[in-house]
Amino acid sequence: MLGGSPAQIGDAVEIALEHHLGMEICITAMRQTGEAMTARFKQTSLGGLE
């Protein structure tokens, strides 16, 4: 998404994944991806992007 804010890009990704995979599979895939990521690459409500 050229020129989009991080929030807009995140929304677009979520919509595309849900459309392609369906809600339940999308949530499972996002959870598994988050679990596999190291803390260094995660955005948190306390720390923001590092």
Give, for all 50 residues of the chain, the pLDDT tens digit.
Answer: 578 898 898 899 888 888 888 888 878 888 898 888 887 777 665 555 54
- Quick check: 49 and 43 in contact, CB under 8 A? yes
Region for 45 from its dihedrals, namely left if φ exceeds 0, alpha if ψ lies in -120 to 50, beta otherwise: alpha
Strands annotated E in the chain: none
Instruction: State the pLDDT at residue 1.
Output: 57
- Quick check: 12 and 1 in contact, CB under 8 A? yes
If you compute the radius of gyration of the chain from its CA atoms, what whole number of angstroms results? Answer: 12
Token couple for 36: 């596999």
Instruction: State the pLDDT at residue 19.
Output: 85
